[in-house]
A and B are shown apart, each in its own frame.
Chain A
Amino acid sequence: MTTTETPPLPTTGRRQVGDSVFAGAAKAAGILILVVLAGVAIFLVTEAAPAITAAPEDVPGGEGLAAYIGPLIFGTLLAAVIALVVATPLAVGIALFITYFAPRKLAQTLGYVVDLLAAIPSVVFGFWGIFALAPALVPLFGWLEDNLGFIPLFAGPASSTGRTMLTAGLVLAVMILPIISAISREVFRQAPALHQEAALALGATRWEMIKMAVLPYGRSGVIGGAMLGLGRALGETLAIALVLSVSGGITFNLISSGNPSTIAANIALNFPESTGLDVNTLIASGLALFVITLAVNMAARYVVNRRADFTE
């Protein structure tokens, strides 16, 4: 063979240029994402700074930034916690139903149907909350006030429109249901088949098999999914802005017409008409929301990824 006569690969020069350009572009795109995330934080801080440093009497409400944001944070957490308490057991039930109880052939279709809930825009959920859910809940609120009024949560007086914190929480619960159930479904499906078959072979009923072989395996996945759902519920805007009837003030009363707003809903309702320092104050509250959701999401990812590390 006359290897020496082989012409040098014609693309050598171009190849190196092309490769380095392409690799550079890919890397730059990745770095851009880091920059964007940093940018979100930096720009929010920049625009929030005037409100943070402003004199307390200039901030809306006249009592300083903390007094303005405090009730909003409370409302945000309250609505999200209601949603989480309602949605998590339901979502785990749905995930179990789809993975272990529903007929095999139907399971995938049923999964799609639940996922459809995730596709519906939040403004549409708001419409549904005002016009369908809230009126339907009014009799329930009356009953709660009459029979469980001794519990502070249901002290009343019951709202006549149904646009209460409990309604908002239930709308949020419906919205985060598909997130929690999707992640739970994923971990339940990954539970080792050998453990399940061994449990069944020992004569366990289906529930005993799930209790012994599936739930212990899926627990951290469910927790992670619930925290991701919490992150979504904390930041949900339009559904709350439409459904909740707001009149400020911190209260645990879930069925009256006086409710604290949430950070996101408050921004959406007030931002379009705000100018000057009001805008900075709203951005400062958005910064608080950003920090809270960031912390919740990082914790959730940590829990989920830790599980992934174990299973690898």
Chain B
Amino acid sequence: MSTPTPTAPSRPEAAPEFDLAAESGNRLPRFAGWGLFVLGALLAAAPTALLGWSTGLFVVLAIVVGTVVTWGVSRAVEGRRKSTDRLVTCLVSSAFAIAMVPLFSLVYTVVSNGVGRLDAEFFTSSMVGVIGEGGGAYHAIMGTLIVTALATLISVPIGVLTAIYLVEYGNRGRLSKWITFLVDVMTGIPSIVAGLFAYALFALLFGPGVRLGVAGAVALSVLMIPVVVRSVEEVLKLVPNELREAAYALGVPKWRTIIKVVLPTAAAGLGTGITLSIARVVGETAPLLITVGITTALNVNPFDGRMATLPVYAFYQLTQPGVPPEFGINRAWTAALLLIILVMALNLIARLISRVFAPKTNR
């Protein structure tokens, strides 16, 4: 441990500190924690009303007053140690509640703004010749599917093979330690840098100013491979060694053991990990913005020029909505809603895979 010392000496000092209230054994009833907090929160309504009502202000004041009331009453009745405990409980619970505010606010904002244009036209028409009303994201949806599928085709074999090397062949040698470390580092590459890398690579091959769907797929792969490696590695480590040893004992060569025994056993985990890694990149905007660009028409050939993708489509519909702007902005919100639905669906599928296809472990 880095700092083992502070815990040891503080222990004997903490115990003998009895204050009067604590010694008398007074305790608040069980519901007091919540009850006092709610009471304090209600008290906060008065000053909020005086200062001019706003929900944000009320929430802040409610948390502050609720915490202070809980702490004060507990301090008077139960003593210092119990009251500190209640204070921390209030603070920690508030931290969680505060984190929920942006999540719900975000989902509410996107759904309420985006649901208006979630119609058939949005899924069936592209932006060719559309200036104001109407138009859709058919071309962008197709583009996202193609680029993401291509990225998956590149990343999954590389990622899975690397994970197999790390778990089955690496033997914790120097190379596998380096790979593990650099995969960790790769996880932290900013998405825009991945995009610049893909652009630089293809600019060297095809000349400056190049925009290709496949360049976007390469950029996404840089972001996706480390996620695949990490999740597959974790799953392969969970496969019991007895299974491998049983296969070896039957004379099965190592590579067949891996393909016929290890990978099928880990299939559920593989599915989950790969689905989650797709979810991780499907909403990436920055790398596609600089490698794939945007079009108004459908382009299904990733080796020929610009394509539209859903996140980039959302970005441009918001920043360059056209005249009058509200139609473009509405399309942008719907695209954002579609992105969230897509990512949530992928996450849900991942959980389902791990639940339905869970390996039949020897109980």
Contacts and interface: CB of A to CB of B under 8 A. Distances in A.
A44 B196 contact: yes
B343 interface: yes
A290 B283 CA distance: 21
Given A121-B285, A131-B109, A279-B208, A237 B165 contact: no
B96 A22 contact: no
B102 A98 contact: no
A33 B285 contact: no
A29 B336 contact: no
Interface residues of B, number: 104
B214 interface: no
Nearest to B188: A297
Query: Which of A177, A210, A267, A282 counts the most chain B CB atoms within 10 A?
Result: A267
Nearest to A143: B57
Given A33-B162, A94-B99, A267-B192, A216 B200 contact: no
B200 A264 contact: no
Contact of B15 (A29, A39, A130, A202): A202
A290 B106 contact: no
A176 to B, nearest CB: 12
A131 B286 CA distance: 20
A203 interface: yes
A128 B109 contact: yes
A297 B184 CA distance: 8
Size band of the A side of the interface?
Answer: 35 or more
Contacts of A279: 208-209
Contacts of A43: 197, 200-201, 204
A33 B229 contact: yes
A155 interface: no
B3 A216 contact: yes
A275 B6 contact: no
B54 to A, nearest CB: 7
A297 B196 contact: no
Query: Which of A43, A90, A114, A123 counts the most chain B CB atoms within 10 A?
Result: A123
Contacts of A94: 92, 95-96, 99
Query: Which of A93, A236, A242, A279 counts the most chain B CB atoms within 10 A?
Result: A93
A237 B203 CA distance: 22
A33 B99 contact: no
Given A9-B251, A37-B186, A267-B196, A47 B203 contact: yes
A242 B157 CA distance: 35
B95 A33 contact: no
A206 B352 CA distance: 36
Contact of B340 (A26, A124, A177): A124
Interface stretch (B42-50, B79-87, B264-272): B79-87
**B interface majority secondary structure:** helix
A295 B152 CA distance: 28
Contacts of B290: 267-268, 271-272
A32 B190 CA distance: 20
A220 interface: yes
A249 interface: no
Contact of A40 (B164, B193, B229): B193
B192 A121 contact: no
26 contacts: A19-B253, A25-B161, A30-B175, A33-B158, A33-B179, A33-B226, A36-B225, A46-B200, A47-B199, A90-B98, A92-B95, A101-B92, A114-B99, A121-B285, A121-B340, A124-B339, A174-B99, A202-B11, A202-B15, A205-B84, A216-B2, A219-B3, A238-B285, A267-B290, A289-B192, A293-B193
Interface of B: 1-4, 6-7, 10-11, 14-15, 54, 56, 81-82, 84-85, 88-89, 91-96, 98-100, 102-103, 105-106, 109-110, 113, 157-159, 161-162, 164-166, 168-170, 175-176, 178-179, 181-194, 196-197, 199-201, 203-204, 208-209, 222, 225-226, 229, 251, 253-256, 258, 279, 282-286, 289-290, 293, 311, 314-315, 318-319, 332-333, 336, 339-340, 343-344, 347
Q: Lowest 5 A-B CB distances belong to which pairs?
A: A235-B190, A121-B283, A93-B95, A29-B161, A297-B188
